[in-house]
Chain A
Amino acid sequence: MNKQLLGVIDATTVHDDLKELSIHRSVAAIPFGGRYRLIDFILSNMVNSGIQSVAIFPKFQYRSLMDHLGSGRNWDLNRKRDGLFFFPAPNFDKHYTGIGTLDHFADNIDFFERATQEYALISNSYTVFNMDFQPLLDWHIKSGCDITEVQKEGQSLGIYLVKKTLLMDLITTRNETGYSNMRDVATDHDSQFHLCYYNFEGYASMVDTIENYFRTSMDLMKPDVWKELFTKDRPILTKVKDEPPTRYDVDASVKNSMVANGGMIEGTVENSIIARGVKIGKGTVIRNCIIMQKTQINENCLLDSVIVDKDAKIEAGTVITAPAHSPAVIRKGSVQGVGSTS
């Protein structure tokens, strides 16, 4: 077991271009792929890499995130020793930028002092990927790096590996050095540190806009992406729900779609992602859509290129279509009647 690595997830990020989906929740808690939240990917990757202690640093709107993670049981992080820790930002006035805000860490320096792990992996909360961090750690040690940034095709993935003692130094000297976050450290080429870049070759998508969210969701329907993200030996774990299997009616027609449990499907679904507990009525056609948890779409609707957030209700006969490059978003809990277009 990998007792060397401490997991640190920065869940403070706010993306203005994801606002429609993050009014009531942090970006980390945005539903994804029919049954997951964005944070499930990094959290499962950490757990699957043997990390047994994970600290989450949230800021705004973290109720749904806390509810989702609970005691950490679904990730096997409900431990007596180590496990899952939450460190909400003590004040909202401080402005955080980048990944791994040292100010936020400084407010919880005790945690870092107490941690027995030799290295810390600091990551953003909104990247969809499946990565084993063990080879990264081995490479970091072998290459004699001080700070390693994980990249994909030359672009930062907002993931940093650093010795815990160095991290503590960075935290305590932040006022002198001027580094406010891990990105600052990793991009300062004049620094005294040995900066390294580790290339991740697999699928990775940082979800920071609606378009990007939509495209990444649709990527799940590509067999090679699906196969890579959802492997048996490194499963993406999430909060389980006791939903029954999905029921397909005699008139149901479903093609090229991902469907989670607890659904009742009576209509036509194509190229879409249907989350847990969704109802799709007779005569309704859903194309290129992302339908989130417990949304109810009544009879004879037509939805094309729409993201419908949780608990929404689409009344019978409603038509909502949007251009494929700019999907419409129906907000959580809203009721849409006949004739609404966007």
Chain B
Amino acid sequence: MLLAGGKGSRLYSLTKNLAKPAVPFGGKYRIIDFPLSNCTNSGIHTVGVLTQYQPLLLNSYIGIGSAWDLDRKDGGVTVLPPYAESSEVKWYSGTASAIFQNLNYLDQYNPEYVLILSGDHIYKMNYELMLNYHIEKGADVTISVIEVPWEETNRFGIMNTDADFKVTEFEEKPAVAKNNLASMGIYIFKWSVLREYLIRDDQNPNSSHDFGKDIIPLLIQENMKLFAYPFKGYWKDVGTVQSLWEANMDLLDKECELNLFDHSWRIYSVNPNQPPQYICPEGEVSESLVNEGCKIEGEVSRTVVFQGVTVKKGAVVKETVIMPDAVIGHNCVIERAIVSPGVYVPDGTIIKPGESAHDITLVSEETIGELQSN
């Protein structure tokens, strides 16, 4: 069950018309390609995708799931939007309520285990290994965790465990953490346990119907068997303009753990079928990722260029993410920015980072006028 209803409000205009899981990433992908590809590569062929916020693009992108080989007679991908019951329309008020309202969907498969994922993260993970661990431990619930730097523990949900990784306590964004194992928002439940706790949670008027805030603490309190599954590898929440930019830049590092070139664990996506990129006689490209359908007449370095982008003569682009179909006009200078899909950056526009090294400029239809006048 892939939770894909998030708004991603800290991505500002990037998520004005689309849900966070549909945000473009890595020169050709959308964020949701990562969990969906992980599912298909892990041998999971029945996936429910729960959508809510701005679902149009996401729904049409997922389609019948053929891009991820999830167009199946038996199972496959099913998009699960909120729906109306005879008495009322029930929006998904929290992660747990989203799953609860689709108990019918789960009942029809009556699985042994349910994997709950979020559509907000960039990572490659074999869920089958996690399931084996879950079975080995005889767990009711297994939560995937990753070691985060101690100084950042206050940004995450932290799992306190014993030496055997049995979860003893869950602390949401603790001021002083006892551990640095952060929840990745990936859960494997025994279906019977999930079903029972979702029904109980729904009946609790004080619950916010959230896995992290309500379900997990209650399970711990009632001494159910919760285990942390320590994941090693690349994992990034791309919830802010800064972190989205950073994760894109990570891909330019040849040693990056997130290897997109690994054919044994391909990241699938809806391929736009565009001609090869054309690097013009005047063009220069170094340390960059460039997708098909691009025309590069200018100078591009340390930049991720999505499909259909044009960089015109005399333009110099550095450490930037240029999203699909954007056009960078003649003689523009752009550094440390994210250029939104389809934006036309007029000739001669200069975009340089501000005082702070952490300032990444988000170039969008709304901000382009303002950026030009500066």
- Please report A residues at the B interface, Cβ cutoff 8 Å: 33-35, 73-74, 221, 226, 229-230, 235-238, 240-242, 244-262, 264, 273-274
Contact = CB atoms under 8 A, between A and B. Distances in A.
A242 B271 contact: yes
B290 interface: yes
B277 A235 contact: no
Contact of A258 (B269, B277, B284): B277
Contact of A245 (B268, B273, B275, B291): B291
Contacts of B283: 254-255
A236 B275 contact: yes
A70 to B, nearest CB: 12
Given A242-B266, A259-B277, A248 B261 contact: no
A256 B280 contact: yes
B27 A249 contact: no
B290 A248 contact: yes
25 contacts: A33-B275, A33-B276, A35-B276, A73-B66, A74-B273, A230-B274, A230-B275, A235-B273, A235-B274, A240-B273, A241-B271, A245-B28, A245-B291, A245-B292, A246-B277, A248-B289, A250-B286, A255-B280, A256-B279, A256-B281, A258-B278, A259-B277, A260-B276, A262-B261, A273-B276
A167 to B, nearest CB: 32
B368 interface: no
Given A242-B267, A245-B26, A264 B290 contact: no
A259 B279 contact: yes
Contacts of B271: 240-242
A258 B276 contact: yes
Contacts of B260: 244-245
Interface string B349-365: 00000000000000000
A244 to B, nearest CB: 4
B16 to A, nearest CB: 24
B304 A245 contact: yes
A261 B291 CA distance: 6
B318 to A, nearest CB: 13
Interface residues of B, number: 35
Interface string B126-153: 0000000000000000000000000000
Nearest to B303: A248
Interface of B: 26-28, 66, 252, 254, 260-261, 266-269, 271, 273-281, 283-292, 304-306
Contacts of A237: 273
B261 A244 contact: yes
A274 B66 CA distance: 28
Instruction: Give the top 10 A-B pairs by smallest Cβ distance, nearest first.
Output: A245-B27, A240-B271, A244-B260, A34-B276, A245-B291, A230-B275, A260-B276, A245-B289, A258-B276, A256-B281
Contacts, number: 105
B26 A244 contact: yes
A230 B26 CA distance: 24
- Interface centre among B266, B280, B290, B305, by most chain A C-beta atoms within 10 angstroms, is B290
B274 to A, nearest CB: 7
A33 B292 CA distance: 12
- Interface centre among B261, B276, B291, by most chain A C-beta atoms within 10 angstroms, is B276
Nearest to B300: A248
Given A257-B279, A259-B277, A242 B269 contact: yes
A244 B273 contact: no
A220 to B, nearest CB: 8
A221 B289 contact: no
Contacts of A262: 261
A299 to B, nearest CB: 15
A253 B305 CA distance: 17
B273 A264 contact: no
Given A257-B278, A264-B261, 5 more contacts: A240-B271, A255-B281, A259-B279, A261-B276, A262-B261
A256 B254 CA distance: 25
B132 to A, nearest CB: 26
B261 A261 contact: no
Nearest to B296: A254
Contacts of B27: 244-245
B28 A244 contact: yes
B284 A253 contact: yes
A261 B267 CA distance: 14
Contacts of A259: 276-279, 290
A279 to B, nearest CB: 10
B275 A226 contact: yes
A240 B275 CA distance: 11
Contacts of B276: 33-35, 258-261, 273-274
Contacts of B290: 245-246, 248, 259
B170 to A, nearest CB: 36
B106 to A, nearest CB: 30
Contacts of B252: 247
